[in-house]
Amino acid sequence: MSPSSNSGTGYLLINLGTPDSSSTSDVRRYLNQFLMDPYVLDTPWLFRRLIVSLFILPFRPKQSAHAYASIWSDEGSPLLIHSQALRDALQKEINGPVELAMRYGKPDIRSAVESLQSKADHIVVIPLYPQYADSTVTTSLQAVREAAKEAANDAANADWSVLAPFFAKPEFITPLAEQVRSADGDWDHLLMSYHGLPERHITRTDPTGSHCLREENCCAIPSSAHATCYRHQVYATSTALADSLGLERDQYTVSFQSRLGRLPWLQPYTDQVLSELPQKGVKRLAVTCPAFVADNLETLEEIGIQGRETFLEAGGEDFQLIPCLNDDASWVTGLSSLIRSHMSAASSETSL
């Protein structure tokens, strides 16, 4: 590391992102940045550009803008508001500067990195994604690497480390279970809905090239592939949460939402599950979204509005969307504990 007058540790929280407003133009700009990321649409650049420009951007921004408008508050984007509240709460628990950045949109990673490099000689990157995926963790870390390289100079440089995915850590599962327990009213079934991924994203990140999705129970068979397998980590989160809540296997369902395009995505699909559950006798449903730590379009609109309508129209009687952890006090404590454990470890869990 180059000599630096900085001392101490800084912390960089990263979430996925949000448009600047719910206007169609801002949503179009956001979607263009998001969908042109090769970790999101993993096709050659020219083909990706054609798909995004010809088949998505002419139509989807208006539809998405309407969805964003349905959840937008006077203060702005729920995802940004909740992420900022988490940053502020964490700042009170952690000794050192804390910055928030979004992979897409603002506040941007470059500005956050420059700020931290001027204040600290070690920076811990904290991706706010419980489970690993290229389209969340990998792309965020790549953006940090690029920003750090551009911002680095002899007067402002830093060592880096990365907090590993915390998908089954008690510091995450315990406050998540508390959030479910605190839901108003009674429910007879819990749906755990996770953001979906194309199946090829799962096989692409399999370092063995021969494990993921090769057989039905691959997630239950020990493998080195699980360290980067989103599907395995989703089921690990679900099992840990169910165990913490004392649920039997028939008392909860795991599903995947937000699919896009015609490629095979992880199943079962949340919208189909919501239509089917009332026919299986589930009338009072609670839904939690453990792939997110802050409420956003996918939780508030896709599940809270569209999902509720789907379930009730299919014969359900009561639907509860359980809020994400946001800046819940026990989650702030849990995240602080995860960070301290990372810092005190003999070697970093993950290096940048």
What are the beta bridge partners of residue 159?
122
HSE, side-chain direction, 13 A CA sphere, residue 245 = 25
- Packing angle, helices 24-35 and 60-71, rounded to 10: 110
The rounded distance, in Å, linking the Cα atoms of 325 and 136 is 18
Same domain for 129 and 67, yes or no, is: yes
* Contact yes or no for 226/232 (Cβ under 8 A): yes
Same domain for 61 and 91, yes or no, is: yes
End-to-end CA distance of the chain: 14
| Token pair recorded at residue 110 | 């470059």
Give a yes or no: residue 112 inside a domain.
Answer: yes
Same domain for 150 and 255, yes or no, is: no
Whether 346 has a pLDDT exceeding 50, the answer reads no
Position with higher pLDDT, 100 vs 186: 100
HSE, side-chain direction, 13 A CA sphere, residue 132 = 20
Mean pLDDT value across residues 255-268: 92
Give a yes or no: residue 200 inside a domain.
Answer: yes
pLDDT tens per residue across span 277-323:
999 999 999 999 999 999 999 999 999 999 999 999 999 999 999 99
**Total Cβ atoms within 10 A of residue 13:** 23
Same domain for 143 and 207, yes or no, is: no
pLDDT for 183 equals: 84
**Percentage of residues of the chain with pLDDT beyond 90:** 88
Give a yes or no: residue 351 inside a domain.
Answer: no
Same domain for 239 and 197, yes or no, is: yes
Q: With bands split at pLDDT 50, 70 and 90, how would you rate the model's confidence at 67?
A: very high
Mean pLDDT value across residues 54-60: 96
How does the average pLDDT of the chain come out, rounded? 93
pLDDT for 20 equals: 97
Place of tokens 């699909």: 269
* Contact yes or no for 350/315 (Cβ under 8 A): no
Same domain for 233 and 272, yes or no, is: yes
Whether 154 has a pLDDT exceeding 50, the answer reads no
Q: With bands split at pLDDT 50, 70 and 90, how would you rate the model's confidence at 153?
A: low
Same domain for 30 and 122, yes or no, is: yes
Domain of 295, CATH number, reads: 3.40.50.1400
* Contact yes or no for 180/328 (Cβ under 8 A): no
What are the beta bridge partners of residue 168?
none
Give a yes or no: residue 23 inside a domain.
Answer: yes
- Which residue range is the domain that position 44 belongs to? 9-166+329-344
Residue 288: closest CA among 190, 187, 157: 190
Same domain for 73 and 100, yes or no, is: yes
Residue 30: closest CA among 336, 306, 318, 297: 297
pLDDT for 57 equals: 97
Residue 232: closest CA among 241, 245, 243, 223: 223
The single-letter DSSP state of residue 47 is H
pLDDT tens per residue across span 110-140:
999 999 999 999 999 999 999 999 999 999 9
Same domain for 152 and 195, yes or no, is: no
Mean pLDDT value across residues 130-152: 94
pLDDT for 94 equals: 93
pLDDT for 3 equals: 34
Q: Is 107 left (phi over 0), alpha (psi -120 to 50) or beta?
A: beta
Least confident of 65-74, 98-107, 154-163, 206-215: 154-163
Give a yes or no: residue 3 inside a domain.
Answer: no
Same domain for 31 and 158, yes or no, is: yes
Count up the domains in the chain and report the number: 2
Whether 49 has a pLDDT exceeding 60, the answer reads yes
Give a yes or no: residue 349 inside a domain.
Answer: no
Same domain for 203 and 162, yes or no, is: no
pLDDT for 263 equals: 85
* Contact yes or no for 276/314 (Cβ under 8 A): yes
Q: With bands split at pLDDT 50, 70 and 90, how would you rate the model's confidence at 262?
A: confident
pLDDT for 21 equals: 98
Please spell the DSSP secondary structure of 282-341, one letter per residue: --EEEEE-TT-SS--HIIIIIIIIIIHHHHHHTT--EEEEPPP-TT-HHHHHHHHHHHHH
Give a yes or no: residue 352 inside a domain.
Answer: no
Place of tokens 């880096």: 160
pLDDT tens per residue across span 16-45:
999 999 999 999 999 999 999 999 999 999
The rounded distance, in Å, linking the Cα atoms of 17 and 80 is 8
Query: Which helix (H) or strand (E) element contains residue 194?
Result: strand 189-195
Same domain for 133 and 278, yes or no, is: no
